[in-house]
Amino acid sequence: MANKKRILSGMQPSGPLHLGNYFGALKNWISLQDEYECFFFIADWHALTTLYEDPRKIKQFSYDVAVDWLSMGLDPEKCTLFVQSRIPEHAELHLILSMIVPVPWLERNPTYKEKQTEITNVDMSSYGFLGYPILQTADIILYKADFVPVGIDQAPHLELSREIVRRFNNLYNKRVFVEPDAKISEVPKLNGLDGRKMSKSYNNAIYLSDSEEEVRKKVQIMVTDPQRKRRNDPGEPDVCNLFPFHKIYSPAEMQAEVASTCRTAAIGCTDCKAKLVRNMTDGMRPALEKRKEIVSNPKRVMEILDEGSKKAHKVARETLREAKEAMQMADGFPS
Ligand code: SF4
């Protein structure tokens, strides 16, 4: 374990996880757990940025996320799974860092403006939302993570964390924190049923916990090539919202066959969808079986999070101690 590089990442508990979450992040986490020392956390304090009016939901969502993780293959024997709010050091380091981060660094963050426009049902003008990249930085650097797994479009977000690390280390003249690097993974493009980004708030998602019947119903209403209005119109898989799912779930020969018969209109969308449903439900079945076993023992799920949080707490406590020592504030007052 000692020689392994360390990885850290988290997910907000804002509802059950869907295929977009799995192929966008979780699948990659699962593949990293053998090679790296991995810390994965449920970012329940981050979830407060949008769920502050009804925080009671966060508890259930956190449990749901843990069940999704375990069902899909995160293994607590190989990685540390923990809950952010169990580690008060995240909040304490967030406060310390917020003293050294100039506000313009936060205001220029493109996600800040994007989300404020995107999320219209919640007032996003809070101080906490502006400062969430600082909390995110605290999350990462408390564990001295070498890498943060991200998709290529999120790589610039890490730059702010790296800048904050440099500022802290320079100010207090000690290399307490490690500048995290992005571990970029290729993420397949997978949209929701209506062709927009897959998201719980758009009500267009296929969830990891969906039954075979739910998957079938959802695939049936999925939009396809918008130009293909009639059965005899040829289609174009490259612009079809459904074809990326074939690329994931169907064998290569079937993908090729679907693509060519779609282009000649030899296959209709209904038949194409039926083929996909068979492959998707086959692909999703093992995790659904595992889920049954996991939900039958909720106490074990909580134990896994308890054990992981204790382990994470030890690391975070030590890093924060070092940081406060560098600031000559280890005992609470400048010494
Ligand atoms: S046949 Fe399949 S790939 Fe072609 S447009 Fe219809 S659903 Fe899409």
pLDDT value, residue 325? 96
Nearest to 194 by CA among 184, 185, 186, 206: 206
Per-residue pLDDT tens digits for 49-68:
888 888 999 999 999 999 99
Any ligand 1 atom below 6 A from CB of 193: no
> Residues 298-306: contacts with CB within 8 Å, 24+ apart?
298/63, 301/63, 301/66, 301/67, 301/70, 302/63, 304/66, 304/70, 304/76, 304/81, 305/42, 305/66, 305/81, 305/82, 305/83, 305/86
pLDDT value, residue 113? 75
Nearest to 183 by CA among 319, 46, 35, 60: 35
Phi/psi at 172 (5° precision): -105, 10
Q: How far is the CA of 228 from the centre of ligand 1 (A)?
A: 8
pLDDT value, residue 243? 97
115 is catalytic: yes
Low-confidence ranges of the chain (pLDDT < 70): 1-2, 332-335
pLDDT value, residue 42? 98
Number of the ligand 1 atom closest to the C-alpha atom of 228: 5
Q: What is the DSSP string of 69-102?
A: HHHHT--TTTEEEEEGGG-THHHHHHHHHHTTS-
pLDDT value, residue 333? 62
Per-residue pLDDT tens digits for 242-294:
999 999 999 999 999 999 999 999 999 999 999 999 999 999 999 999 999 99
Q: Do residues 72 and 117 lie in contact, with contact meaning Cβ atoms separated by under 8 Å?
A: no
Q: How far is the CA of 213 from the centre of ligand 1 (A)?
A: 21
Q: Which of 5, 197, 275, 290 is catalytic?
A: 197
Query: Domains in the chain, ordered, with CATH?
Result: 6-189+298-326 (3.40.50.620), 210-292 (1.10.240.10)
Q: Which of 5, 57, 78, 115 is catalytic?
A: 115
How far from 333 is each of 223, 245, 324, 330, CA to CA, in Å?
A: 62, 57, 10, 7
Q: Do residues 92 and 20 lie in contact, with contact meaning Cβ atoms separated by under 8 Å?
A: no
Number of the ligand 1 atom closest to the C-alpha atom of 243: 3
Phi/psi at 144 (5° precision): 50, 45
Q: How far is the CA of 207 from the centre of ligand 1 (A)?
A: 22
Residue 84 CB neighbours (<10 A): 24
5 is catalytic: no
- What is the distance, to the nearest Å, from the Cα of residue 308 to the centroid of all Cα atoms in its chain? 18
First vs last Cα of the chain: how many Å apart?
36
Q: How far is the CA of 223 from the centre of ligand 1 (A)?
A: 9
